[in-house]
Amino acid sequence: MAQSQKPFYVAIGAVALIGIGWLAMRLAGGGPVSIPANVTVTEADTTGFRGYILGSETAPIEVTEYADFQCPGCGAFATVQFPDLKARLIETGKIRFRYRDFPLDGAHVHARLAAHSAACANDQGKFWEMEDRIYQRQNDWAMKGSALPIFEEIAKAVGLDTGAWKACMQSATYAGRIQASLEEGSRLGVQYTPSFLIGGRIYSGLNADDIVRMVDSMITAQAATPTP
């Protein structure tokens, strides 16, 4: 090989290696992730999915939370109030709890990414574990330029198949589901997070004690109503 040709072949080899590395990273689910907003919601985004649900299907009352993973108030509710609510109302069979995403895009740039991280965990039956850890570590990722590395740490910590989780994240599979949830809340009048739909009304600023009192009152009223 002539001396003058060596740089050319070296360059070709370098380009090939870069291409192979890029392809491997893509196949492994690496690289940047972006979850689009304001997407068109399709029937497939909502069919058979009402939200992430805890509790018995036969519970007399349903409580729906509309929440933003990056919202400090939602973080406080999830980490301080929700364990009490779960013990007093969900585990006792009084309510069925329904979680819905309501990302506040202007204020919280990582909200949809966090919501999608939990949605991809749900594919492996780990939504609630992922949701809990994301809120527990909210201060670690909320002000970062990129929150994805921390979400990946959490995915590993809760025992996910991270290859499958990364592929789900790369594909933005659940962008439409998140948008549908936001639109549902908007139609109902949700303006702040966390907000709660209880008995056909939207409430904000509730804590566990408030919800327990409200639910107990509703159950008492139901018991006093004669069955037709």
Tokens linked to 160: 């996910």
Mean pLDDT of 210-226: 93
Sheet holding 95-101, edge to edge: 52-54, 95-101, 61-67, 195-198, 201-204
Residue 86 has pLDDT above 60, yes or no: yes
For residue 88, the model assigns a pLDDT of 98
Extents of the domains making up the chain: 51-224
5 pLDDT tier (thresholds 50, 70, 90):
low
For residue 32, the model assigns a pLDDT of 74
For residue 165, the model assigns a pLDDT of 98
The pTM is what? 0.85
Q: What is the CATH number of domain 51-224?
A: 3.40.30.10
pLDDT in tens, 165-176: 999 999 999 999
Higher pLDDT, 6 or 195: 195
Residue 210 has pLDDT above 80, yes or no: yes
Residue keyed to tokens 């994240």? 169
pLDDT in tens, 28-54: 345 678 899 989 999 999 999 999 999
227 pLDDT tier (thresholds 50, 70, 90):
low
Tokens linked to 146: 């990129």
Residue 22 has pLDDT above 60, yes or no: no
Residue 11 has pLDDT above 90, yes or no: no
For residue 131, the model assigns a pLDDT of 98
